[in-house]
Every structure is written in structure tokens, then in C-alpha cells.
Amino acid sequence: MGFWKNLFTGSEPTSHPQNPDYEGYTTIGEENASSQAVRSPNRGNGRIFFTTDRDIDIYELEELCNAVGWSRRPLRKVKKAIQHSFLVVSMWQMRGSQRRLIGFARATSDHAFNATLWDVVVHPDVQGKGLGKALMKYIIKKLRSEDISNITLFADPHVVDFYQNLGFIPDPEGIKGMFWYPD
């Protein structure tokens, strides 16, 4: 519950070195549309930062999705989905002058109460190091800063535990999601 409590408290410190949920990230430029969180070099990871800049190389995003085994989607539709999302967050690894996309998530929203997270992905090379948790905390913090209070997502069975460990609960009020797919 500490994860969610931190997100709903009014004052947010800019540095969380003692908080293991935040993995030592420091947030800078929060008021900026392309705000970032930076991590000092640690265990050879280089510098890790987040951005809300939507100018993402679609081919690099496709490579990231391929790395986790997702099926290919039409690039024009991926680009359109990014353009029409309420929030887009990408996570980058900097080593020297080399920059590599290692994580991505986006949210759609009604701009008032609700948001749904989509396409949460972290490169297999950096999974298990707390970066997925940091990505989720970052996107939720950004949504909460927009006064979004109901955050939902759809999860494949093999990642349900990951989201539950972050405080997400399946089917909280017995409401069953329904889907319509074309024939």
C-alpha cells in the first residue's frame, strides 16, 4: 500500500534516495511537458531517464516490442495511437553518447477521472532491475498530477503478479470487463 500512498500524498520530494520503490531516481523539470527522471550510473546500467516527448522513432519502438515477443502491429496505427494518447512515457538508457529505448508506456483518458494504461513494455535486458516498477510509478505520478484518480490496465496472465505487487487489484468491485471484436 506504500506505493499508492506515495502517489496520493500532496507533497512530493524531488529526490527519493532512501525509498526503494523509487530506485534512486531524481525528478527534474516536473512542470515541463517532457519532464525527465535521471538515474546516476549504477551496475553498468548507464544513465536512465524518462521523457513524455511523443517524438519517438516508431522503428525503435517496434524493436523494443519485438524484443519482448509482441506481435507486429501496423506502424501507421502505432503512430496514430501515440498521437491520440493522453500521456506517453518512454524510458531511455544512455551510455556515453549512445541512447537506447528500453521502456515504454502510454495512457488514454477521459481527461477528468479515468485513464487506462496500454503498451507497458521493458526490454528483457533490463527486466528484474526495478526499472519496470520505476516506469509504472512515473506514469502513475504523471496521471495523478493531472487529477486522474481511476487508473486501469489490461494484463497478460504472466504479468499479473507484477502489477499486483504495485497495488493494482483484479476486478476490484466484481465488475467484469466486456470486449467486442470484429468477426
Count the Cβ atoms, other than its own, within 10 Å of residue 176.
Answer: 5
Q: 158 Cβ partners below 8 Å, 6+ apart? A: none
HSE of 20 in the Cβ direction (CA atoms, 13 Å)?
3
User: Is 87 in a helix, a strand, or coil?
Assistant: strand
Name the catalytic one among 25, 138, 163, 181.
163
Q: Can 163 be counted among the known catalytic residues?
A: yes
- Own/partner pairs, 17-26, CB within 8 angstroms, 24+ separation: 21/133, 21/137, 22/134, 22/137, 23/130, 23/131, 23/133, 23/134, 25/134, 25/138
**How is residue 164 annotated by DSSP?**
H
**How is residue 15 annotated by DSSP?**
B
C-alpha cell at 147: 487529477
Count the Cβ atoms, other than its own, within 10 Å of residue 129.
Answer: 15
Which are the catalytic amino acids?
Answer: 163
